[in-house]
Chains A and B, each alone.
Chain A
């Protein structure tokens, strides 16, 4: 039996191979084929998603840089730019959780640095299979330790994220990482900011190049994981956070001194990507001297050097007049550096090694002319399972409440976030455990609010609504803190796009994201698509994770989530409908994931956001907390747990009690307000057309829902805080 042809073994389709032959006018050699295989991989080329992504809104008054560069950039005013992006590192993490997650952090941080920005915050939305399985506990513990091990060691605080658990993530955990950076607007390094010309040099600096991560993007990120995937382990990169810290400081010193014409990180597809994208962006070609690349091992083939994904490397585009100064910065930080290429007229990328030409291809054809597919999409047949909203409920309500409160999707994430440094850099106004993290802009009163949200369960039941909910919840989380939502980044986690059902889920998700972003005026500044999250017959649910960025003009006006005192009046903002479809209650109490997710009235969401921001601006709100997983019951409990102040409320609802408590209707929040501010609050709600219902008061050691629930806040706290330690067997 003969092996399949090389191009197929490298993950290229037959028609893609034909295109390469047509582009070159000849048969590609092995080195060239390797370069195309990584650049034209799904991960690098977005070949299945591009046609859909193009329909997203990407422009707005605050957007300085939209999709297509290393990260999106938003104008915060006063000459300060926020640079942010989210990425996945799910496939490597499934094979080696610590290194997979660690290098995910490293990669996204370099994306931010390559825009000329200092990384100031990280967030990590993570999804795993249920923790009663040992392998899932191993993956969970390893990923959390890897994020901490890397993030803590580079001095970038981890300020939030979320944890979710579902069977579908047993084979395929989802590991997303968002990084935020700040830059002076006039020091941004963007595709248009420098003016590299022929003769400009490309300086590779940072770690040396080894065989780690050969073909990471094509082997790992662009195909499904199968049994025996341990064989893929050599494709997982190994991180060195110390080198990354030096890389950050050296790169920012070069930017600060105005020494660079361009800056590119080395991530997926390694040097091939950095060289071809830099040259293509400049409208030029490059002469590459592969022998100049510092190696960490002998005997590497040219193709290995070209596609190695060794971590902690950057490529600077430098005018020869500044070369000595740039290399002096590298020396100060102890980083090896080498000129590996020179930009030249024409568009060709000519690679020399050992005295001969080993590759000669048009830079653009690698970077920009990858294939593009409009893959077939087909909706799956609907299921007829009864909507859980209308099932009779006869269990004990207090038991159900505690069951929901201790579900890992709801319970305190402290076990994880205490492994992350949230203090370093000294600007974390609100860290993990709040609806939105808030990071102070150094030297100003401004604060950036960030939230990451995405619920695979809603996506499974209705991918359109799943996406709308993800955007709406992220915007709500930002606006309950008092910040105005400005723009999003995203990470789109899906199964195999070659399956029509997955492609339909993807298309529906994009449609939902588009509608919500248009309604909220929050354009998409970039993001990442992670396909092939499936193994055998187990695919993850369609899970768009949205990273919403908002602006607080004065971070001191941030509204906390928890009741800060007794004697405050408690209001529910927004209407509650009978909507238990896809709810946390339905899953953990009834054991059903079915029905339709809650409807989302986009105008109601916009009104709620406007009301919350206005009320915060008038310092009317003592606290505000989004109603999400577990509905009103969990929201009230978290408001009390966060501060120790109890409450006594009445439901005043026509709905069955369990529906009123656990419905996950959208566009709602629970706020507390000083009694002296109540009249104004009611007036403001009227102005914004937002329904407002007075529930009761804060105070005392008990959490009381009149006639239905009566527990102590201490009991609730113990249940909520203790859930993870108990699940992980660390506490009886």
Chain B
């Protein structure tokens, strides 16, 4: 049995789901390593998770300040070397602000915070969180955000769709895309985006809140299992 992969979870001031991400990593068999925004050292981790929350209060654009935190230089370099990086909710916003993923996240179309369990349709199996999953599969995972509506310029959108960079879309439980199942009005129902190499993924829903059946759905299990596998392999899928 190989050693458990080391997964770093970054805590920014205002991170909220950092402990949850660490617990989920441990539940799935990984070794969770706490990383601190002000320290560039990634402590030899095999993968990095940027967790949910309101980093620095999100008083500027969401994720904008965190994207410039001391640790982010190391995260960007790690991603450049092909290291697995997962951004969840605020972490997704940070990855977009850091230029690692295309598009931006703006206020939900309802203008209200939304917390509910949604269905995600897997769009791409070539990412560090979708190894072994088949496009079209659906997973139940909660969302909870006020600014989760993914938008992009026409040019970006064309590239994202043409290159197959959509990782997940919001759908019904049988994989149908419609307005009713799009919790924030995201363009093309986009819930998560990957980079071309597939080692950087950001998504608004919270897989770390979907591993323990006592407190939520379980659609996050295969995503985190895939991340641990990718971390162990030391290279993206």
Contact = CB atoms under 8 A, between A and B. Distances in A.
Interface of A: 145, 148-149, 152-155, 240-243, 245-246, 333-334, 417-429, 440, 555-556
A243 B59 CA distance: 12
Contact of B214 (A152, A422, A425, A440): A440
Contact of A423 (B23, B142, B146, B214): B142
Interface of B: 13-14, 16-17, 19-20, 23-24, 52-54, 56-59, 112-116, 142, 144, 146, 206, 208-209, 212, 214-216
A418 B212 contact: no
A334 B12 CA distance: 11
A421 B148 CA distance: 14
A553 to B, nearest CB: 15
A555 B13 CA distance: 32
Nearest to B144: A421
A485 to B, nearest CB: 22
A-side interface mostly: mixed
B13 A426 contact: no
Given A149-B113, A419-B114, A424-B144, A429 B215 contact: yes
Given A241-B57, A440-B214, A555-B214, A425 B19 contact: yes
Contact of A334 (B13, B52, B53, B114): B13
A153 B209 CA distance: 17
Contacts of B13: 242, 245-246, 333-334
Nearest to A426: B20
B214 A155 contact: no
A358 B20 CA distance: 49
A285 B142 CA distance: 52
Given A241-B54, A242-B59, A424-B17, A418 B115 contact: yes
A66 B214 CA distance: 32
Contacts of B142: 423
Nearest to A421: B144
A435 B209 CA distance: 23
A423 B206 contact: yes
A426 B57 contact: no
Nearest to B216: A423
Contact of B23 (A153, A419, A421, A426): A426
A420 B115 contact: yes
Contacts of B24: 426
Contacts of A440: 214-215
Contact of A422 (B17, B115, B146, B208): B115
9 contacts: A149-B113, A155-B16, A242-B14, A242-B59, A245-B13, A421-B115, A423-B144, A428-B215, A428-B216
A155 B12 CA distance: 13
A30 B19 CA distance: 49
Given A145-B112, A418-B115, A418-B116, A155 B17 contact: yes
A240 B57 contact: yes
Contacts of B146: 149, 152
Contacts of B19: 425-426
Contacts of B57: 153, 240-243
Given A152-B113, A242-B13, A246-B14, 11 more contacts: A240-B57, A245-B13, A419-B114, A420-B113, A420-B115, A423-B144, A424-B209, A426-B209, A426-B215, A427-B215, A556-B214
A154 B208 CA distance: 18
Nearest to B54: A153
B20 A425 contact: yes
A314 B208 CA distance: 32
Q: Which 5 A-B pairs have the closest CB atoms?
A: A242-B57, A155-B16, A423-B209, A421-B144, A426-B20
B139 to A, nearest CB: 16
A245 B57 CA distance: 9
A417 B116 CA distance: 9
Nearest to B21: A426
A153 B147 CA distance: 13
A377 B212 CA distance: 54
Contacts of A154: 16
B215 A419 contact: no
Given A421-B144, A423-B142, A556-B214, A245 B115 contact: no
A422 B216 CA distance: 10
B149 to A, nearest CB: 16
A428 B210 CA distance: 12
A241 B56 CA distance: 10
Contacts of B115: 152, 417-423
Contacts of A426: 19-20, 23-24, 208-209, 212, 215-216
A177 B116 CA distance: 22
A554 to B, nearest CB: 11
Contact of A429 (B16, B52, B209, B214): B214
B218 to A, nearest CB: 13
A148 B113 contact: yes
Nearest to B24: A426
B144 A152 contact: yes
A428 B144 CA distance: 14
A154 B17 CA distance: 10
A426 B114 CA distance: 17
A148 B146 CA distance: 10
Contacts of B212: 426
Contacts of B144: 152, 421-424
Contacts of A246: 13-14
A149 B146 CA distance: 9
B198 to A, nearest CB: 27
A281 B53 CA distance: 37
Contacts of A555: 214
Nearest to A144: B112
A555 to B, nearest CB: 7
A246 B23 CA distance: 21
Contacts of B16: 153-155, 245, 424
Nearest to B110: A730
B185 to A, nearest CB: 14
A241 B59 CA distance: 11
Contacts of B14: 153, 242, 245-246
A562 to B, nearest CB: 16
A17 B115 CA distance: 51
Contact of A419 (B56, B59, B113): B113
A148 B216 CA distance: 20
Contacts of A240: 57
B209 A419 contact: no
Contacts of A333: 13
A419 B216 contact: no
Q: Which of A155, A243, A426, A555 has the most CB of B within 10 A?
A: A426
A155 B215 contact: no
A132 B52 CA distance: 37
A461 B32 CA distance: 57
A421 B116 CA distance: 9
B20 A424 contact: yes
